[in-house]
Amino acid sequence: MRTTVPLGEVTRLLEGRAESPERILGPHWIEWEGRKAIAIRTYLPHGTRAWVVAPEGGFPARPMRRIHPGGIFEALCPMPEGNLQEFRYRIRVMDARGKVTTVEDPYRFPPFLTDYDLYLLNEGTHWQSYKKLGAHLRTVDGVEGVNFAVWAPNATSVSVIGDFNDWDPTRHPMRKHIPAGFWEIFIPGVREGAMYKYRVRYGDHWEDKSDPYGFYAEVPPRTASIVWNLDKYEWHDHEWMERRKQINWLEQPISIYEVHLGSWRRRESDPTQWLNYRELAHQLIDYVKHMGYTHIEVLPLGEHPLSASWGYQTVGYYAVTSRYGRPEDFMYFVDLCHQHGIGVILDWVPAHFPKDGHGLRRFDGTALYEHEDPRQGEHKDWGTLIFNYGRYEVRNFLISNALFWLDKYHVDGLRIDAVASMLYLDYSRRDGEWIPNEYGGRENLKAIAFLKMLNEQGHGQFPGGFTTPG
């Protein structure tokens, strides 16, 4: 039987330009000899032979035939009972050396993002977007793996590349939710600790991007994101967290010790080495208690490429910097502070972000997180880009990030950096270098609305948490 797959779609897939790879790959209903059947297609660039097999031996192994020299294989299977998603199978593949392995097909698994998720994300009100976007360890239909999801509405295609697929962008192209602009894929077999990026293509240009929602990253100057589980740490600050809900910090005396963890103290045996979060916790707590402070304010800890920036040029907003340890190590830092009656405030930078190529800058080939016009979208003084607070998805990204630190890391407050630069359109600009608001004024009305919404959600969802301008 001749395949029904259009050659043009196969070519786009092999060139890394497929917007909807699931239209070719995975299981598909077809008409075969007057009956309904399932066509299963897979991409095996290094395979010489392949078979479709049932996990429980439900049907005999069915040989697949190569329908394109680039490595596209297809097999026809009788129509099963139930719907397409309930048809379980695996792919057995033989390589050029005769080695046979059995693998799961990523394109047989249903999407993780629901229509309701997509609605809230596009509306800018999915306040727990960090539970759906990024890389999440999941078990689907008894199969362990990782679900990857990213926002890139203007990209031609997006692929997950990593140490689990030899950084090959043709191996795991993501499916696009149209018109929402979010891409996702469940990749079986990927484990915690796997390194990855997104290969984002826009027309003839492509760039490898770190995950905006990545929970962990390589130590700079390396820039890959790392799959990580943030739910395995066992907290011991229940008493503090319950008491915090009853406290209005606006009416309480606070004495704050501000600290940059990387320069506060170094390892005595080797001053070029940083202390880790756990070591810093014990030494800082002793000092802070001795001096009588109530809170520790930590300079920004979102992953940042330039150590000299003290963290104020953030790239990984959801990734605590790996310079001083793993995510659970910083959780230990906060936990121990709380057990000793000390609050933790985190400097947070929603005003601007750096231009590093692996970061948010022109993420999908367009001005996505920033403004296109440099009179709105660039800080000349700092050489950074300004968030577009009027875009719903950007607002969602930032507010969700603030709530993320309060939720996953139990921080007590956020010091919002560079608020003045957010509030005034003419901040550090001469005449002709800025664009007035719709009323002809200098106030950034969209930034003001963003800050109001941020505080509404923060105080509403985390009583006792607080923000302070910087």
Say yes or no: 351 and 463 in one domain: yes
Say yes or no: 448 and 329 in one domain: yes
pLDDT score recorded for residue 289: 96
| 1 located within any domain | no
Residue range(s) defining the domain that contains residue 37: 7-104
Say yes or no: 95 and 138 in one domain: no
pLDDT score recorded for residue 83: 64
Helix-strand-coil split of the chain, %, nearest 5: 25, 30, 45
| 2 located within any domain | no
Which residues make beta-bridge pairs with 257? Answer: 296
- Any residues with CB less than 8 A from the CB of 170 and at least 6 apart, and which? 13, 14, 16, 43, 45, 159
Say yes or no: 49 and 173 in one domain: no
Name residue 130's amino acid: Y
Say yes or no: 268 and 205 in one domain: no
Domain end: 45, 75, 104, which one? 104
pLDDT score recorded for residue 169: 93
Say yes or no: 288 and 186 in one domain: no
- Reduce the DSSP state of residue 197 to 3 states and report it: strand
- What are the backbone dihedrals phi and psi of residue 104, each rounded to the nearest 5 degrees, phi first? -85, 150
The domain tally of the chain equals: 3
Quick one: angle between helices 445-461 and 392-408, nearest 10? 30
pLDDT score recorded for residue 250: 80
| 232 located within any domain | no
- Alpha-carbon torsion, ordered 242, 247, 248, 250, to 10 deg: -110
Say yes or no: 315 and 454 in one domain: yes
pLDDT score recorded for residue 31: 80
Say yes or no: 88 and 124 in one domain: no
| 109 located within any domain | no
DSSP per-residue letters across 395-457: HHHHHHHHHHHHHHS---EEEETTHHHHHBTTTT--TTSS---TTS-SB-HHHHHHHHHHHHH
In this structure, what CATH number is given to the domain that contains residue 389? Answer: 3.20.20.80
Can you tell me the distance from the alpha carbon of 297 to that of 330, in angstroms, rounded to the nearest whole number? 14
In this structure, what CATH number is given to the domain that contains residue 61? Answer: 2.60.40.10
Task: Note every long-range contact of 129-133, with CB atoms under 8 Å and residues 24 or more positions apart, other chains counting.
Answer: 129/213, 129/396, 129/397, 129/400, 130/213, 130/318, 130/400, 130/401, 130/404, 130/408, 133/182, 133/212, 133/213
Say yes or no: 270 and 393 in one domain: yes
Q: Which pLDDT tens digit goes with each residue over 399-428?
A: 999 999 999 999 999 999 999 999 999 999
Q: Which residues of 416-450 are buried (b: 16+ CB within 10 A; e: fewer)?
A: bbbbebbbbbbbebeeeebeeeeeeeeebebbeeb
Paired tokens of 433:
């270098």
- Any residues with CB less than 8 A from the CB of 358 and at least 6 apart, and which? 197, 207, 208, 209, 210, 223, 315
Say yes or no: 70 and 195 in one domain: no
pLDDT score recorded for residue 2: 60
Say yes or no: 297 and 412 in one domain: yes
Can you tell me the distance from the alpha carbon of 311 to that of 330, in angstroms, rounded to the nearest whole number? 15
pLDDT score recorded for residue 42: 96
Domain end: 72, 104, 136, which one? 104
pLDDT score recorded for residue 84: 65
Q: With a cut of 50, which residues of the chain have pLDDT below it?
A: none
Whether 367 and 388 have beta carbons less than 8 Å apart is answered as yes
Say yes or no: 437 and 293 in one domain: yes
Domain end: 208, 227, 246, which one? 227
- Any residues with CB less than 8 A from the CB of 332 and at least 6 apart, and which? 233, 277, 278, 281
pTM to 2 decimals?
0.95
